[in-house]
Structure 1
């Protein structure tokens, strides 16, 4: 599927001549889905009013559009280019300062602050708390691009990336890793940030599986949520449906997405196998050695370690879609309709049409966490920065 504006030919007969006129079908615009009346944000108007006034990348008819790079015209190319960038940029291009925090059960979470405190001393400026995707971390290209954008002019926000147990070089100090619904760890990190910076407003941003986790957390917290707002990017919403989509027989699933995602999970498991085996659960390592599908990983490892009946039980309990009606803070969700990992039919549009605190922004193109406008620039950080500034009521928005 090529994603630049497509052309539809209209054929008109004029006497004996045939005139072919080309009509441009522009599919690059952003579509907003929301309740008929969105919730008030303090005394500054409704959520939709604020987005219309402060977020041109989402609401301005001329600016609210994403046109893929000519060199990356398909969803698969958009998605895989992140991996290419990761390979080319083995060194981080964002500078972090790591802080390790210990949970009540002895788990370790790595908080990567940017800019480092020597460059940006502690103050009461707004903070954006970012949550990575499956087996990822602060090194991921999509995370670093957002951090670089949010910490630069005109925003100059403080950012912190939550690296979950065992991820991104964080040592596993218990027998459990993390999963897409383990909101206790995310909540622990948010509370730590809030205690350290009690006068700073916080916005949470989650990507992919991290988006599911952040959204679930916000729904669980309801009106007591310590975040001022949240942003969900390429959220699977329904983990069972997303798993079914990845398991569908296709060449790209068999040879591209399943192997790539499974490789990250298996590396994480083998890196921390000794710690995981130290726990009370006895795993079937002979069966684990034969894993070829993500659902098998979640059946044999995730479900057993965390006490779920099986992968279906895990997916059902941890999917964030069921928590959307409970959300009581502004939440912006960004999804591309050609996402090969989180398909369009998993997006719960009815929840966005009924809960006035939610706004869904969809694009026709972008793949999964892609949104590359060229080989050196990406669209995604712009709406994230604009929305954060609008929520923080920053004059630079």
Structure 2
């Protein structure tokens, strides 16, 4: 241990991973969450937009969204509302270029970008001495990598990562190669290409977007754009350096990793059994169902079980 038995039980008609993934998008619940925005200026001349939900708590949960997401996503707003009711203030930050306004530099964000998270944490510790991290998908990889890189960060007391592609190469290839995943792949690639074309207009001497519309896979896109724009040789170099799995043995705070076994985005390499068995601070929970950031059990309407499980885990390790 701590490979943790899961209490999540999907209804019989919702056990399919694709249904769990798609239904929360088709049937989004209305969440009344009112963020206050702050712009954080970065040392390289760029910025991050931070969205705060303050209720006067003494502890803060920092939320990180997934690929091409933002703080407007229902899963972010729902988690923020749930954690606020559980006694946390919340900060949901938007990756570069994801807040509704283009960022200022040719680079953007990527799966291993922990420097920006470090800047957010530095800003948060000006107001809070007790922090938790909660990351979804790509954001889950980011927080796990950060925790492994910075095991001495005393402000971070606990964390939860949900559906994190901790082996980026294996997960990218699963999305690239399985025909059943083409609906997700296409949606991501279209959004990424649109942003690269906008970058090409802003930085014509740096970003060549002429081939962007011919991109059909993450391998092609990360080879041509994500890797080189962020200092990596190519997609393989980017995936190798940025995957969080290699950092899991260094995690020193109680950290829950929720990885449904039927998540269509996750390859077998994204289930770190051996690391959880040897690191007493890494709690791996692998319910049979849940899809990708789904976890619908319908016990509380459309509220996903993962919100309740996250609040429970954080509160079990940090007193109010």
TM-score tier by shorter-chain length is: over 0.9
1:379 corresponding residue in structure 2: 305
Superposition map of 1:245-260 within 5 A: 245-250=174-179, 252-254=180-182, 256-260=183-187
* Corresponding residue to 2:14 among 62, 72, 75: 72
Moved over 4 A (4+): none
User: 2: distance between equivalents of 1:308 and 1:160?
Assistant: 30
2:168 corresponding residue in structure 1: 239
Distance 1:82 1:249, change over 3 A: same
Q: Residue 212 of structure 1: CA displacement?
A: 0.4
RMSD value, Cα = 2.0
Moved more, 65-74 or 375-384: 65-74
Q: Residue 272 of structure 1: CA displacement?
A: 4.3
* Corresponding residue to 2:236 among 312, 320, 329: 312
* Corresponding residue to 1:162 among 93, 97, 112: 93
Give the length in aligned residue pairs.
318
Distance 1:69 1:112, change over 3 A: farther
User: 2: distance between equivalents of 1:171 and 1:369?
Assistant: 26
Distance 1:227 1:265, change over 3 A: same
What secondary structure sits across from 2:49 in the alignment?
strand
Query: Is the 1:95–1:114 contact (alpha carbons within 8 Å) kept by the matching residues of 2?
Result: yes
2:124 corresponding residue in structure 1: 193
Distance 1:312 1:391, change over 3 A: same
- Structure 2, unmatched stretches of 5+, are none
User: 2: distance between equivalents of 1:151 and 1:217?
Assistant: 24
User: 2: distance between equivalents of 1:224 and 1:97?
Assistant: 26
Structure 1 residue 128 and structure 2 residue 61: aligned?
yes
1:112 corresponding residue in structure 2: 51
Distance 1:360 1:249, change over 3 A: closer
What secondary structure sits across from 1:80 in the alignment?
helix
Structure 1 residue 281 and structure 2 residue 281: aligned?
no
Structure 1 residue 227 and structure 2 residue 156: aligned?
yes
User: 2: distance between equivalents of 1:323 and 1:150?
Assistant: 27
* Corresponding residue to 1:99 among 26, 35, 38: 38
Structure 1 residue 175 and structure 2 residue 137: aligned?
no
User: 1: distance between equivalents of 2:177 and 2:167?
Assistant: 16
* Corresponding residue to 2:251 among 319, 323, 327: 327
Query: Is the 1:129–1:161 contact (alpha carbons within 8 Å) kept by the matching residues of 2?
Result: yes
Moved more, 165-174 or 296-305: 165-174
What secondary structure sits across from 1:130 in the alignment?
strand
1:82 corresponding residue in structure 2: 24
User: 2: distance between equivalents of 1:282 and 1:368?
Assistant: 32
Q: Residue 70 of structure 1: CA displacement?
A: 5.2
Structure of higher CA gyration radius: 1
User: 2: distance between equivalents of 1:130 and 1:182?
Assistant: 15
Cα offsets for 1:295-326 (capped at 9, x unmatched): 21111111121121110100000000111111
What secondary structure sits across from 1:231 in the alignment?
strand
- Structure 1, unmatched stretches of 5+, are 1-32, 36-57
Cα offsets for 1:196-253 (capped at 9, x unmatched): x14x410001110100001001100012353111111111110001011112242x22
**TM norm structure 2:** 0.92
User: 1: distance between equivalents of 2:77 and 2:198?
Assistant: 24
What secondary structure sits across from 1:262 in the alignment?
helix
User: 2: distance between equivalents of 1:286 and 1:267?
Assistant: 12
What secondary structure sits across from 1:380 in the alignment?
helix
Query: Is the 2:163–2:293 contact (alpha carbons within 8 Å) kept by the matching residues of 1?
Result: yes
Distance 1:349 1:70, change over 3 A: closer
**TM norm structure 1:** 0.75
